[in-house]
Amino acid sequence: MPASSLKGDNTWIHKSFTLLAVRFGVNCAGRIRPNRLPVCLSGYNPHMGKRSTNAEPTTDRASGETLAVWEFAGLMLTYWCNARCAFCYVCSGPDRDGEMSVDDAIGHWSSLDRLAAAHGRSMRIHLAGGEPFHDWVQLVSILRAARDARLSPVEKVETNAFWAADDGLTRSRLELLDALGLGTLVISWDPYHAAYVPVERVRRCVEIARRVLGRGRVRVRWWEFLHDPVDVRRLDAKQREDVFREALQRHKDRLTGRAAIELAHLCERHSAATFAGQHCVDAILRSRHVHIDPYGNIFPGTCGGIILGQTGGGGLRTVEQVWQQFSSRWHENPVAQAVVAGGSYELLQRVRPLGYRELPGGYADKCHLCAHIRQFLVDCGIWPQAVGPPACYGNEADRAAAIPPQS
Ligand code: SF4
């Protein structure tokens, strides 16, 4: 669908904003006062059945795009993490919570398996967070229930190895994971994690995992940093920034989540117009990868915090139902529609009338622009069915940690 055909839809945004300005007030900077937008006026609710009379067909007439079948899924067991890495894609930390129940995990897993099977595919599941080892009993209970229900095998579990405090504990946990069918253990280890986890624990976890699982079933992200680590915890702020700057140059990852708040100032930045025309069809519609958070929100695989749909709720929606609904009605999701049409620059056009102000210093990449806009939407309570939950976005502690503050 060309951007021009979507721009006409902005009319309702202008009308809504005018209504809101009168009813709820706008602050002196033109920003809607946070938390004053009621859901009923936020303009998007994927569960409002009456709007389905305007539903678009699965195939977008203009672009011919159809929604890919989801085949890779990460179950985010919690937003809690012992660390609060500067690069965390979902802003996890010790002050975050949320816990996926065993019933919810098995429900999502079963539905994902059925979705893939209905299209002649097989599902690949991984368990992630936050830190999935936060509640060891819960992690084991989910894996045991999945095995007993004969669900697809767990492809991988991701961890930062903070729990590998001694050899006996590490070995016993890895042996149990092996017995429960774990495919690969993926250990997150880079300069950002090194600010919170001692390298000795990572080395212990790697060495014992290689003995228990075999070398081919252990991965470290990034191996080269394990071979030549830096104890980031001992560095002062300036030295730490230098290490992070070099890491950003070496690994050109997207600046989303906490990285958009804490690391963007270390990158070369550009005006928002630089990113005009960089649409996100691949990330939103063509990706076969999703994450499901502890509250049942389904995110595109690489864009945490953009809500494609929600499982559970009053209607007890399954993942299959969310896929069906998003497949036919993604045009009604204001964030997905905008970024599919024209990327974060198109999203910028949609949110300017809502009070969003561009960063005068510019943005590191199109995802930094997207993340900054979405943070504004979450702070203001706008489109909560399409962006959120707040646990996935920056809070006051994250803003305080940003050096220098965003400008
Ligand atoms: S700009 Fe936004 S929607 Fe597009 S890939 Fe980046 S985070 Fe995802």
Question: What is the CA(180)–ligand 1 centre distance, in A?
Answer: 35
pLDDT, residue 404, reads: 55
Ligand 1 atom 6: residue of nearest CA: 367
pLDDT tens profile 116-160: 999 999 999 999 999 999 999 999 999 999 999 999 999 999 999
pLDDT, residue 20, reads: 39
Probe ligand 1: pick from 91, 330, 366, max atoms within 8 Å of CB? Answer: 366
Question: What is the CA(75)–ligand 1 centre distance, in A?
Answer: 20
Q: Which helix or strand (DSSP H or E) is residue 7 part of? A: helix 3-7
Residues 195, 198, 201, 204, Cα dihedral to 10°: 110
Question: What is the CA(304)–ligand 1 centre distance, in A?
Answer: 9
Pair of tokens at residue 150: 């004969």
- pTM confidence score: 0.85
Contacts 24+ apart (CB under 8 A), 9-18: 9/337, 10/349, 10/350, 10/353, 12/43, 13/43, 13/334, 13/350, 13/353, 13/354, 14/353, 16/41, 16/43, 17/353, 17/354, 17/355
Assess whether the previous peptide bond of 130 is cis (omega < 30° from 0): yes
Q: What CA–CA distance (Å, rounded) separates 42 from 332?
A: 12
pLDDT, residue 65, reads: 80
Residues 6+ apart with CB under 8 A from 317: 47, 309, 310, 311, 325
Q: Among the residues of 77-157, which ranges form H helices?
A: 102-118, 136-148
Q: What CA–CA distance (Å, rounded) separates 150 from 166?
A: 33
Q: Compute CA distances 46 → 216, 338, 366, whole Å.
A: 43, 16, 26
Ligand 1 atom 8: residue of nearest CA: 303
First to last CA, the chain: 34
- What residues line ligand 1, using a CB cutoff of 6 Å? 254, 256, 280, 283, 303, 306, 339, 343-344, 366-367, 370
pLDDT, residue 64, reads: 65
Ramachandran area for residue 344 (φ above 0: left; ψ -120 to 50: alpha; else beta): alpha
pLDDT, residue 314, reads: 64
Q: What is the pLDDT along the chain (407 residues), one digit of tens a residue?
A: 333 333 333 333 333 333 333 333 333 233 333 333 333 334 454 443 333 323 333 334 345 689 999 999 999 999 999 999 999 999 999 999 999 999 999 999 999 999 999 999 999 999 999 999 999 999 999 999 999 999 999 999 999 999 999 999 999 999 999 999 999 999 999 999 999 999 999 999 999 999 999 999 999 999 999 999 999 999 999 999 999 999 999 998 889 999 999 999 999 999 999 999 999 999 999 999 999 999 999 999 999 999 999 998 666 799 999 999 999 999 999 999 999 999 999 999 999 999 999 999 999 999 999 999 999 999 999 999 999 999 999 999 888 877 554 44
Q: Tell me which DSSP letter residue 283 carries.
A: I
Contact 402, 261 (CB under 8 A): yes
Domain regions of the chain by residue span: 15-44+273-396, 72-250
Nearest to 31 by CA among 339, 326, 352: 352
Pair of tokens at residue 7: 């721009």
Residues paired with 219 in a beta bridge: 186
Assess whether the previous peptide bond of 70 is cis (omega < 30° from 0): no
Ramachandran area for residue 393 (φ above 0: left; ψ -120 to 50: alpha; else beta): beta
Contact 336, 284 (CB under 8 A): yes
Q: What CA–CA distance (Å, rounded) separates 264 from 406?
A: 8
pLDDT, residue 71, reads: 98
E-state strands within 129-259:
154-159, 184-188, 218-221
Please report where in the chains the tokens 């228990």 appear, as a residue.
Answer: 212
